Amino acid sequence: MYCSLSCQKQDWKRHKKDCKAHQAQNPQGSTSLPPEPVLRLMLHDFVNLHQRALSLVIGHHLFSTRGDAFPPMDIKNDWVLFNVKLRDPNASPASTFEITNGIAPLPIAGMSVKSRRQLEAFAEGLAKKVDLEEKINAGWSVVPAMFLVDNMSLGVCMVGVEITRSHLDSALLAPRSVPTGTPWWEQLEYNAQRGLVSLILWNEALQKFVMEVGTMKQSSKDDNWHWEKSEDDEVRERQHVARY
């Protein structure tokens, strides 16, 4: 997970040469899979850009299926799984993949030996990074999520998704901008399809942090991607979209 967009911008420099090489070999709109190292980097970029949406979408789903019990999942035994497929390798890093399915919670016991070992090692690493017991008492937890490209082990991305008590509070749950009855993960795909990225930024006028929505723009000078606040009338009128 990137600590900021500036951090992600620096990381982009690390692999943009590989991405540009792939783009040169594949015309706009091509959906052929890039080399695995490039695919993994693209997937990590995509997932990290949607961290805010992931927290809200997963929290919303866990509340609807498990109530407000906290922590909502046992990270040593339960996981969240997303299947994705490449949408367009030349698109905004927030839109490169399409979410095709999601399962939460997914018991680790039902996974293959290889996947189970990967997940157990990742969960152990998460537990070592933070004092989970202390964080949980303070109303903060993390759930492990795995992203698989085209239902294969290719392009695996594992990430810890932050879930707080507010994500499980029915009074604070953000309304979805997708129709009722659609899959629980559809809001994430809605954002990805439109390239929407939500960030929490300091508002000087209000003297507090607020959620803002924007899109990734590519500089014509150095090819770096940066976040820009959306000025789209539809987005501004439908403020609940920004909360995802």
> DSSP letters of 123-139?
HHHHHHHS-HHHHHHTT
Cβ-based neighbour number of residue 236 at 10 Å: 13
Note the pLDDT tens digit of each residue in 22-41: 455 555 445 467 788 888 89
The answer to whether residue 3 sits within a structural domain is no
Note the pLDDT tens digit of each residue in 1-12: 444 444 544 555
Name the percent of the chain lying above pLDDT 90.
41
Least confident of 52-56, 148-152, 198-202: 148-152
Is residue 170's pLDDT more than 80?
no
The answer to whether residue 22 sits within a structural domain is no
Per the prediction, the chain carries an average pLDDT of 81
The answer to whether residue 225 sits within a structural domain is yes
Tokens of residue 21, six digits: 């090489």
The answer to whether residue 206 sits within a structural domain is yes
Sole residue written with tokens 């997303």: 82
Sole residue written with tokens 């690390």: 14
**Higher per-residue confidence, 128 vs 9:** 128
How does 120-145 read in b/e, with b if 16+ C-beta sit within 10 Å?
A: eebbeebeeeeebeeeeeeebbbbbb
Let me know: does 19 contact 137? Beta carbons within 8 Å.
no
Is residue 20's pLDDT more than 70?
no
Least confident of 23-27, 96-100, 101-105, 191-195: 23-27
Let me know: does 74 contact 144? Beta carbons within 8 Å.
no
193: confidence class by pLDDT, cuts 50, 70, 90: very high
pLDDT at residue 57, rounded to an integer = 93
Cα separation of 130 and 135, whole Å?
A: 8
The answer to whether residue 81 sits within a structural domain is yes
Structural domain boundaries enclosing 113? 33-242
The answer to whether residue 181 sits within a structural domain is yes
Query: The pTM is what?
Result: 0.81
Cα separation of 45 and 8, whole Å?
A: 8
Cα separation of 106 and 71, whole Å?
A: 15
Is residue 169's pLDDT more than 50?
yes
Is residue 13's pLDDT more than 90?
no
Strand ranges (DSSP E) for the chain? Answer: 78-86, 97-107, 140-149, 157-164, 196-203, 208-218, 225-229
**What average pLDDT does range 201-219 have in this prediction?**
87
Number of domains making up the chain: 1
The answer to whether residue 102 sits within a structural domain is yes
Cα separation of 121 and 233, whole Å?
A: 45
The answer to whether residue 227 sits within a structural domain is yes
Cα separation of 209 and 199, whole Å?
A: 10
pLDDT at residue 241, rounded to an integer = 41
Break the chain down into helix, strand, coil percent, rounded to 5: 40, 25, 35
